[in-house]
C-alpha cells in the first residue's frame, strides 16, 4: 500500500511538472513565432515605404513591383500584397496549432504511460494480496483437522478407552487424514487453476462412462452413509471436454452432494443427462441440507463453506465447487446451483458443449 502511495505521488508530481513545462514551452514558442512575424511585418513595412518613395520619385508601378514583388501599387499608393499578409497570419496560426497539438500529444502519451504502469502495479498488488489471503485461509483450513487429530491422539494417550471408543477415535483420525489429503489435492488443483497453468484439451468424451467411473469410486462411501445414488444417463451422449477436467468436475460435484446429504443420516442423489440445443446437460439432484437461494452464486467462490442450519457434519475445504466452476468455465461449459432453501435439497446443472459427431 505504501509503494502505491509513493507511485501516486510521483505520478502526480510528474504530471504537474510536465503540464507546467509543456505550457511554458507552448507559450515560449508562441512568443517566438509572434516575434518572427512581427519582424517580417516590420521588414515589409520598410519595403512598402521604399516602394512609396520610388513611386513619389517617378518610378513606374510595374518597375516598382518588379523590384519589390511583395508590394502592389494601386492609384499611386504602395501596399503589402494581401496574399502576403494572409500568408503571415496563416503561418502564425499554423505554428500555434502545431505547438498545442504537440504539447497535448505529449501530455496524453505521458498520461497513458502512467495509467499503464498504475494498472500493472495494481494488478501485481492484487495478486500479492490474493496470495497472502490464500495462504492465510489455507493454513486456517488445515488447523481444524490438525487440532481434531491432535485431540484424538492426546485423548488416547490420556485416557483408558474401551475398544469401541478407540475404534471411534481411530475412525475419526482416519477421516481427518482423508480430509487433509483431499484438501491438499484440491488446493493444488485450485492453485493451478488460479495461475491459469492448466492445459485444456477438448475431445469427445462419453458422459455416461465418465460419471459411472466416479460413481463406482464413491459407491462404498455412499452405502456406509445410507445414501442411494441413482444414475439415468443414456449411452451415446458425448461432451467436448478435457478427460481429466471432466473427471475432477464430476468427482467434486458428487462429493459435494455426498457431503450435503450425509448430515441428514441418509438420502438420495439422482443423476440424469440430456442433449439440448447442441449442449449436454448433467443434472445432479440431492436430498441434502440445501442452501438459501441467495447464496447460489457465492457457492462457487473460493473458500465458501455454507453451513446450513440442518447440518452439523458438513466437511469441506471450500474449494470443491470453486474448482468445478473454473474448470467448466475453461471448457466453455457452465454450472449452476439451485435450492428451494435450507433443508430442501439442492440441484446442480452442468452444461458442456456437445461433441461433434454425437448421435442425438
Partner 1 sequence: MNATLAATRVLVVEDDPHLAAGVMENLRAEGYEVSTAGDGERALAWLREQACALIVLDVMLPGIDGFGVCRTLREQGNNTPVLFLTARGDPVDRVQGLESGGDDYLAKPFHLQEFLLRVRAILRRWDWYRSASSTAATAVLRFGGNEVDFRVFRARAWNGEAQELTEKEAMILKVLAEHAGEIVSREDLLERVWGYDVFPSTRTVDNFILRLRKRFEKDPGRPRHFLTVWGVGYRFLTEGEP
The answer to the question of residue 312 lying near partner 1 (CB under 8 A) is yes
The answer to the question of residue 319 lying near partner 1 (CB under 8 A) is no
Which listed residue (63, 143, 228, 334) binds partner 1 by CB under 8 A? 143
* Cβ–Cβ under 8 Å, residues 236 and 307: no
**DSSP at 316:** -
Using alpha carbons, select from 359, 347, 17, 76 the residue that is nearest to residue 207.
359
> How many Å apart are CA 266 and CA 259, to the nearest integer?
11
Which listed residue (89, 307, 329, 334) binds partner 1 by CB under 8 A? 307
* Cβ–Cβ under 8 Å, residues 272 and 232: yes
CB of 171 to partner 1, least distance (A): 10
The answer to the question of residue 131 lying near partner 1 (CB under 8 A) is no
The answer to the question of residue 148 lying near partner 1 (CB under 8 A) is yes
Characterise 226 by phi-psi region: left (phi > 0), alpha (psi -120 to 50), beta (else): left
From 52-60, 120-128, 168-176, 203-211, span contacting partner 1 (CB under 8 A)? 168-176
Please state whether beta strands 267-276 and 227-232 pair in parallel, antiparallel, or not at all (unpaired): parallel
From 81-89, 101-109, 172-180, 270-278, span contacting partner 1 (CB under 8 A)? 172-180
CB of 187 to partner 1, least distance (A): 16
Which listed residue (182, 280, 306, 337) binds partner 1 by CB under 8 A? 306
Q: 111 is written with which cell numbers? A: 498520461
The answer to the question of residue 172 lying near partner 1 (CB under 8 A) is yes
The answer to the question of residue 151 lying near partner 1 (CB under 8 A) is yes
Sequence-ordered alpha helix ranges (H) in the chain = 2-56, 61-67, 82-158, 163-194, 207-224, 243-261, 320-330
The answer to the question of residue 97 lying near partner 1 (CB under 8 A) is no
Taking CA atoms, 222 is separated from 138, 215, 344, in Å, by 28, 9, 20
The answer to the question of residue 85 lying near partner 1 (CB under 8 A) is no
CB of 135 to partner 1, least distance (A): 13
Which listed residue (34, 38, 119, 140) binds partner 1 by CB under 8 A? 140
From 49-57, 233-241, 300-308, 326-334, span contacting partner 1 (CB under 8 A)? 300-308
Q: Which residues of 218-230 are buried (b: 16+ CB within 10 A; e: fewer)?
A: beeebeebebebe
Residues in touch with partner 1 (CB under 8 A): 139-140, 143-152, 154-155, 158-159, 172, 175-176, 305-307, 309, 312-313, 315
Amino acid at each position: 500500500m505504501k509503494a502505491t502511495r509513493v507511485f501516486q505521488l510521483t505520478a502526480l508530481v510528474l504530471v504537474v511538472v510536465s503540464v507546467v513545462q509543456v505550457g511554458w514551452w507552448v507559450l515560449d514558442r508562441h512568443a517566438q513565432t509572434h516575434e518572427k512575424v512581427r519582424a517580417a511585418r516590420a521588414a515589409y513595412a520598410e519595403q512598402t515605404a521604399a516602394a512609396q518613395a520610388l513611386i513619389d520619385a517617378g518610378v513606374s508601378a510595374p518597375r516598382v513591383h518588379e523590384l519589390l514583388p511583395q508590394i502592389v501599387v494601386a492609384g499611386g499608393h504602395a501596399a503589402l500584397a494581401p496574399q502576403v499578409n494572409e500568408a503571415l497570419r496563416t503561418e502564425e496560426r499554423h505554428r500555434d496549432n502545431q505547438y498545442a497539438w504537440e504539447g497535448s500529444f505529449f501530455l496524453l502519451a505521458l498520461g497513458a504511460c502512467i495509467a499503464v504502469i498504475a494498472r500493472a502495479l495494481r494488478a501485481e498488488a492484487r495478486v500479492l494480496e490474493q496470495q497472502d489471503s490464500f495462504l492465510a485461509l489455507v493454513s486456517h483450513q488445515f488447523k481444524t483437522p490438525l487440532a481434531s487429530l491432535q485431540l484424538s491422539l492426546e485423548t488416547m494417550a490420556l485416557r483408558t478407552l474401551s475398544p469401541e471408543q478407540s475404534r471411534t477415535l481411530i475412525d475419526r483420525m482416519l477421516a481427518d487424514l482423508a480430509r487433509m489429503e483431499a484438501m491438499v489435492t484440491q488446493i493444488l488443483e485450485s492453485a493451478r487453476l488460479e495461475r491459469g497453468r492448466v492445459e485444456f484439451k477438448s475431445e469427445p468424451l462419453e458422459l455416461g462412462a465418465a460419471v459411472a467411473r466416479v460413481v463406482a469410486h464413491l459407491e462404498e462411501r455412499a452405502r456406509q452413509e445410507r445414501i442411494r445414488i441413482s444414475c439415468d444417463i443414456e449411452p451415446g451422449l458425448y461432451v467436448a471436454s478435457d478427460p481429466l477436467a471432466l473427471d475432477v468436475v464430476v468427482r467434486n460435484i458428487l462429493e459435494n452432494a455426498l457431503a450435503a446429504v450425509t448430515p441428514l443420516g441418509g438420502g438420495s442423489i439422482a443423476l440424469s443427462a440430456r442433449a439440448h440445443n447442441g449442449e449436454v446437460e448433467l443434472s445432479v439432484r440431492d436430498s441434502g441440507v440445501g442452501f438459501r437461494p441467495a447464496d447460489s452464486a457465492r457457492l462457487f467462490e473460493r473458500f465458501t463453506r455454507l453451513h446450513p442450519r440442518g447440518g452439523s457434519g458438513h466437511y469441506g475445504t471450500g474449494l470443491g465447487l470453486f474448482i468445478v466452476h473454473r474448470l467448466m468455465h475453461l471448457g466453455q461449459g457452465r454450472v449452476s446451483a439451485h435450492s428451494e432453501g435450507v433443508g430442501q435439497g439442492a440441484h446442480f446443472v452442468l452444461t458442456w458443449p456437445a461433441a461433434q459427431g454425437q448421435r442425438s
